Amino acid sequence: MGVVSPAIGAPVDRIEGGDKVRGEATYAYEYEVERVAYAAILQSTIARGTVRSIDAADALALPGVIAMLTHENAPKLQTDDGELSILQSPAVAYRGQIAGAVIADSEEAARDAARLVRFTYEEEKHDVELRYDHPGLYKPDKINANFDTDSTAGDFDAAFGSADVTVDETYTTPAFHNNPIEPHATIAVWEGGDLTLYDSNQGAYAVQQTVAGAFGMQPERVRVISRHVGGAFGSKGTPRPHLILAVMAAQLVERPVKLAVTRQQMFSLTGYRTPTIQRLRLGAGADGRLTAIAHEVVEQCSTVKEFAEQTAVATRMMYAAANRRTTHRVVRLDVPTPAWMRAPGECPGMYALESAMDELAIACKLDPIELRVRNEPDVDPETGQRFSSRNLVACLREGAERFGWNAREAGRDGRWLIGAGVASSTYPARLTPSTAHARAESDGTFTIRITASDIGTGARTALTQIAADTLDVPLERVHVEIGDSDFGQAMLAGGSIGTASWGSAVVKACRALRAGQDEATVDTSDDVNSYEPLAKHAFGAQFVEVNVNVDTGEIRVPRALGVFACGRIVNPKTARSQFIGGMTMGISMALLEESVIDPRFGDFVNHDLASYHVASCADVREIEAIWIDEEDPHLNPMGTKGIGEIGIVGTAAAVANAVHHATGIRIRDLPIRPDKLLSRLPSGGS
């Protein structure tokens, strides 16, 4: 065998790219199934109350309509997940909640019939507004990812009270909706007591386990297929209520059922990022060295399920300070349940922290980068563990040189004010057990099977590269199959854990083949537990230039740069896409995105992409991402850290800091809309 060039580190094109361009990649709703029926979702039109009667006569009389599913004929579920316990009673917990479904021979007939169903309600007073002083605020037992709800170290109050320089500000973020291009969709097929689901999700194994539990089935009797996913951003990380509805509908009519959530329905049925109210208090000496940090968070969840985002967790490890406090408080409102959205916790939390750090730098008359460097910790301030690797300072300095930071000055070009901002970014480097199967084929090729999910990240390609390098063969001799729960337990595509977890299993399986086996099925449970307990995180620095129009308040981002330290980069081409995709979402978060709730009827008033605005090419002229080569042997066999989420972290703060630098105006409540600037901008040509 000749010398094979390393695949890891090569800018390999997406393995499935050709299939997608040719329209040959099959997504969840596109599978051909015989005798398929179609379901259209019925939603509640009140925010709180009870269904008293249902008039479906006109709907059922339409040609092609097969049946209607409501709480009156729905099967009983065996789940304690309140969000998934749909149609188990006539109670309404939020506007847009699933109240039933119409099933018909065609999608058009189902939707037409759905418009004719009439519900009568007994309506109750609802509460949908998050407030810092809400009487219903409480301390949850744990927050997302099983973190402690609060943390304390030292004596924050005393240290803050005696600090030379202090910052005490409140920052708010609105609700954000994930809005992947492919809607949430499912085909449910019952056959002889077995269930097959063609579903758009971030983890087929997790869906299998949840659905089996909800319907009282053995997991092996549920198969979930999800080979291609058209975006997710966290919203497809766990099964959503529509999936349970599709299974129920197929059970009722004894036919396969297709169900796709509309764009409008996604605003109430597929999750969103909770709005946050965050109070940041920083105390420092005159030299800018932090002596006290407090980060107190207020957020919301629904009345049917608790979800508490870990918004202040990054503050626990980001900067050195002997006296620290973080808290999370949640209130149950008559709203849909929040869920994961790209970089949960770190994304909204670092917006507040990094904005406050910028304010502290100004108060201390220090350069914002110098302030961060002075507060660089030697070990994790929260746990005392040493970092497996931490190259935040290197990212800041490399970015400063490339961006021209040292020459930054607030300026003006005609009617445009010019400024630049910086912020740090971080995300944990995690690893969880996964199973992989590898087989040597008779034609000299190799087949790898693992229940991974490619949500647009290039996971299929990265795993092919990892397998090829481990087997020491060219890429074209490796065939990776993913997105099928039959392949066994595996981590879902979320939390920036996928490549590390799946790749570790693939390496182990391929090593078994190199050791002489023709076929091997392995899991990494023992391997994952064997790693040293270190603080493992990726780090980065975001640099943004903004132009602000003094007449309109319009904000443009002519250039943005992200510099990252994320272990070993498997594929530079797909990695760059992930970094700049996250940065674009962060800019969009800062300037445009906002889900607005109307307290009168308890629902979001913007529920499509015409009224929920996201960044386009016109909003960002030049965006670039680079990374620092980072050797970290403590992570996994590949030496990788997750890259899917860190790009968004810190970006919104960098934009806000740049706007302040340009205008002298500090906007602490996102998004930074023109109307928030106009009344405070210089006028009359000044």
pLDDT of residue 246: 98
Residue 1 has pLDDT above 80, yes or no: no
Average pLDDT over residues 513-524: 97
pLDDT band at 243 (very low <50, low <70, confident <90, very high): very high
pLDDT digits 0-9 by tens, 620-668: 789 999 999 899 999 999 999 999 999 999 999 999 999 999 999 999 9
- The H or E element spanning position 355 is helix 346-363
State residue 292 phi and psi, 5-degree precision: -150, 135
pLDDT of residue 14: 96
Place of tokens 């770190």: 346
pLDDT digits 0-9 by tens, 248-273: 999 999 999 999 999 999 999 999 99
- Which amino acid is located at 461 in the chain? T
Q: Are strands 416-428 and 411-413 parallel, antiparallel or unpaired?
A: antiparallel
Place of tokens 């109210």: 277
Q: How far is CA 512 from CA 50, 56, 467, 515, 521, in A?
A: 59, 60, 12, 5, 9
Sequence-distant (≥ 6) Cβ neighbours of residue 527 within 8 angstroms: 504, 508
Q: What is the spatial distance between Cα 447 and Cα 471, in angstroms, rounded to a whole number?
A: 11
Q: What is the spatial distance between Cα 668 and Cα 169, in angstroms, rounded to a whole number?
A: 8
Neighbours of 566 (CB within 10 A): 28
Sequence-distant (≥ 6) Cβ neighbours of residue 391 within 8 angstroms: 539, 565, 628, 630
The catalytically annotated residue of 182, 346, 630, 645 is: 645
Sequence-distant (≥ 6) Cβ neighbours of residue 506 within 8 angstroms: 436, 438, 448, 450, 463, 466, 467, 470, 480
pLDDT digits 0-9 by tens, 45-78: 999 999 999 999 999 999 999 999 999 999 999 9
Domains of the chain: 17-26+432-529 (3.30.365.10), 31-125+180-232+236-269 (3.30.365.10), 142-175+273-429+534-678 (3.30.365.10)
Neighbours of 439 (CB within 10 A): 17
Whether the ω angle into residue 572 lies within 30 degrees of 0, i.e. cis, is no
pLDDT of residue 2: 53
Residue 262 burial (10 A CB sphere; 0-12, 13-18, 19+): middle
Q: How far is CA 261 from CA 28, 67, 613, 631, in A?
A: 12, 19, 20, 44
pLDDT of residue 685: 47
- Cα 87 from chain centroid (whole Å): 28
Residue 512 has pLDDT above 60, yes or no: yes
pLDDT digits 0-9 by tens, 127-177: 999 999 999 999 999 999 999 999 999 999 999 999 999 999 999 999 999
- Which amino acid is located at 9 in the chain? G
pLDDT digits 0-9 by tens, 178-197: 999 999 999 999 999 999 99
DSSP code for 686:
-
pLDDT band at 101 (very low <50, low <70, confident <90, very high): very high
pLDDT of residue 3: 65
> According to the 3-state scheme, what is the secondary structure of 86-122?
CCCCCEECCCCCEEEEEEECCHHHHHHHHCCCEEEEE
Average pLDDT over residues 495-500: 96
Picking from 668, 650, 580, the residue whose alpha carbon sits closest to that of residue 368 is: 650
pLDDT band at 603 (very low <50, low <70, confident <90, very high): very high
Decide: 428 and 390 in contact? Cβ < 8 Å.
Answer: no
| Percentage of the residues of the chain whose pLDDT score is greater than 70 | 99
Residue 600 has pLDDT above 50, yes or no: yes
Q: What is the spatial distance between Cα 207 and Cα 225, in angstroms, rounded to a whole number?
A: 10
Picking from 656, 589, 644, 591, the residue whose alpha carbon sits closest to that of residue 175 is: 589
Residue 271 burial (10 A CB sphere; 0-12, 13-18, 19+): buried
Q: Are strands 537-549 and 555-565 parallel, antiparallel or unpaired?
A: antiparallel
Q: How far is CA 492 from CA 236, 455, 531, 568, in A?
A: 10, 10, 21, 21
- DSSP-assigned letters across all residues of 193-204: TEEEEEE--S-H
Residue 323 burial (10 A CB sphere; 0-12, 13-18, 19+): buried
Handedness of CA 264, 269, 270, 276 (dihedral sign): positive
pLDDT digits 0-9 by tens, 309-367: 999 999 999 999 999 999 999 999 999 999 999 999 999 999 999 999 999 999 999 99
Decide: 572 and 629 in contact? Cβ < 8 Å.
Answer: no
> According to the 3-state scheme, what is the secondary structure of 217-233?
CCHHHEEEECCCCCCCC
Mean of the per-residue pLDDT values of the chain: 96
Decide: 137 and 329 in contact? Cβ < 8 Å.
Answer: yes
476 is annotated as an active-site residue: no
Q: Where are the beta strands (DSSP E) in 253-354?
A: 257-260, 276-284, 290-302, 323-333
State residue 671 phi and psi, 5-degree precision: -80, 165
| Token output for 235 | 């919203």
Q: What is the spatial distance between Cα 608 and Cα 592, in angstroms, rounded to a whole number?
A: 14
Decide: 354 and 278 in contact? Cβ < 8 Å.
Answer: no
Average pLDDT over residues 112-137: 98
Decide: 462 and 436 in contact? Cβ < 8 Å.
Answer: no
Global confidence as pTM: 0.97
Decide: 7 and 475 in contact? Cβ < 8 Å.
Answer: yes
pLDDT of residue 684: 47
Alpha helices in 377-458, H assignment, sequence order: 392-403
- DSSP-assigned letters across all residues of 544-587: EEEEEETTT--EEEEEEEEEEE-B--S-HHHHHHHHHHHHHHHH
pLDDT of residue 654: 98
Please name every residue paired with 153 in a beta bridge, in sequence order, or none if there are none. 324
Handedness of CA 402, 407, 408, 412 (dihedral sign): negative
Residue 469 has pLDDT above 60, yes or no: yes
Q: What is the spatial distance between Cα 539 and Cα 394, in angstroms, rounded to a whole number?
A: 10
Sequence-distant (≥ 6) Cβ neighbours of residue 683 within 8 angstroms: 550
Q: How far is CA 4 from CA 8, 212, 229, 473, in A?
A: 12, 44, 32, 6
pLDDT digits 0-9 by tens, 370-389: 999 999 999 999 999 999 99
Query: In 625-637, which positions are buried (b, 16+ CB within 10 angstroms) versus exposed (e)?
Result: bbbbebebebbbb
Query: In 651-668, which positions are buried (b, 16+ CB within 10 angstroms) versus exposed (e)?
Result: bbbbbbbbbbbbbebbbb
Average pLDDT over residues 102-131: 98
Q: What is the spatial distance between Cα 532 and Cα 635, in angstroms, rounded to a whole number?
A: 9
